[in-house]
Amino acid sequence: MVGVVPQSPSTEAEITATLRDLLATTKQPRIVASGNGAIPWELVRLIDATLPTYRLNILNAFPGLPWREGVVHETSFVGAGMRKSPGLAYVPARLSLVPRLFRRALFPDVVLLHTSAPVNGKVSMGIEVNVLPGAVEACKHRGGLVIAQVNPRMPYTFGDGEIAVEDLDAMIHVDSPVAMPARTDAPVDEVAQQIGEYCANRISSGATLQMGIGAVPDATLPRLTKLRGLGIWSEMFSDGLLTLQSSGALDPDRYVVASFAMGSEELLQWMHMNPQLRMVRTEVTNDPPRISRQPLMTSINTALQVDLFDQANASRINARIHSGFGGQTDFVVGAVHARGGQSMMALKSWHPKANVSTIVPLIDEPVTSFQHTAVITENGIAELYGRSEKEQAAALIENAAHPKVRDELWEEAAELGLA
């Protein structure tokens, strides 16, 4: 295998020489790197200093990426670090299918990992497993390079993110904080608290939870502390998990299963070498059949818009890509197929910045998901499962939409044949 003996830290000069040798005949190599809060910044800097042109594939990239001519930003989930990129290459895909892209279309030449320190001859991808095992396998199959940024501050987590040191082509050691933003900029205001209460009241002991990061999960999870036997099968989790853990709400006999995490230093410490936690690859966490087998599977997602046909747009604003499918479709499908499962779409009924209703007559953007169990806003709960399309539209207008747009929505519903 081409590469630097990785048992000791590699020098930047060694890695640079190896990269140039491997990629000498590749016009625009594809570099896949850990995303979210685990971007290996030192390796990204090294790549940018070595290669005049390349494609950088990262999920939900944070700001700070190289931004110059010759660098193409490529992703299936757009983060703030790529959102305004003029040369953005957005590749639409459900998150569960992204690893398949690496095998069939988006062939990686180099994979950059941000890992823990070695434990018993292995390092761990820590907080960010996600699509990376698939990327590593596809890269190795083609004779590419797998390089690790080894950081003692990255927690060692068990599961699919563990990789033998001998399987790395090179590694560098750093000692720097792991970027783990605890929440988005959305505050847990009174509206979010009301939505959180509606969501929490639909969850019972023994349920399995999937929810993301933001105001609604932050408002929902503290209201579940009196429940017992809760499980976590989620694309990701954040600090709200600690609230459930400390209250005794989590089932001690079930693994917490997720693919990536973002949160505080306290969360990192909880994750490190935790035998109750399994960080697994996206093909497992986001596989609808596996999701459907979880008891009382409860999925809570959000969207930019929901229309009267119960279609949700969580991806685009004025046709421009804002984020991507992510795992929403995977979990909506899995949850509604689970015994006793439910898929909740939770969102504020009014978008304050755009000053528009989030419940609209008909979405004119590409649809992210549809056929949810219920749509929940601060105004109430629109029960949708098993109802006719006219009943669904009526429930959305009367129970979820903002009161000042209900008359207009009824007029639009009549035009659409829904009233």
pLDDT tens-digit readout, 289-320: 999 999 999 999 999 999 999 999 988 888 88
Q: What is the pLDDT of residue 186?
A: 57
For a pLDDT cut of 70, what percent of the chain falls above it? Answer: 95
Q: Which residues contact 251 (CB under 8 A, 6 or more apart)?
A: 206, 228, 229, 230, 231
For a pLDDT cut of 90, what percent of the chain falls above it? Answer: 80
> Do 382 and 392 touch, CB atoms closer than 8 A?
yes
pLDDT at 87 over 90: no
- Alpha-carbon span 80 to 76, nearest angstrom: 13
Sign of the CA dihedral running 223, 285, 41, 117:
positive
Q: What is the pLDDT of residue 130?
A: 96
Catalytically active residues are 235
Mean pLDDT over 344-365 rounds to 92
Mean pLDDT over 367-393 rounds to 94
Q: What is the pLDDT of residue 4?
A: 40
Q: What is the pLDDT of residue 1?
A: 29
pLDDT tens-digit readout, 384-398: 999 999 999 999 999
pLDDT tens-digit readout, 240-252: 999 999 999 999 9
Q: What is the pLDDT of residue 167?
A: 94
Query: What's the chain's average pLDDT?
Result: 92
Q: What is the pLDDT of residue 182?
A: 47
Q: Taking the CB of residue 275, how many other CB atoms lie within 10 A of it? A: 7
Q: What is the pLDDT of residue 316?
A: 84
pLDDT tens-digit readout, 134-188: 999 999 999 999 999 999 999 999 999 999 999 999 999 999 988 665 444 456 8
For 76-96, give one letter per residue: b (16+ CB within 10 A) or e. bbbbebbbebeeeebeebbbb
Q: What single-letter DSSP state applies at residue 61?
A: P
Q: What is the pLDDT of residue 321?
A: 85
Question: Could you write out the DSSP letters of every residue in 141-152?
Answer: HTT-EEEEEE-T
Indicate the pLDDT class of residue 111, thresholds 50, 70 and 90.
Answer: very high
Q: What is the pLDDT of residue 98?
A: 95
Mean pLDDT over 229-249 rounds to 95
pLDDT at 273 over 70: yes
Q: Which domains does the chain have, with CATH numbers?
A: 12-173 (3.40.1080.10), 190-415 (3.40.1080.20)
Give Cα 43 distance to the centre of its chain.
Answer: 22
Q: What is the pLDDT of residue 325?
A: 85
Q: What is the pLDDT of residue 21?
A: 79
Q: What single-letter DSSP state applies at residue 306?
A: E
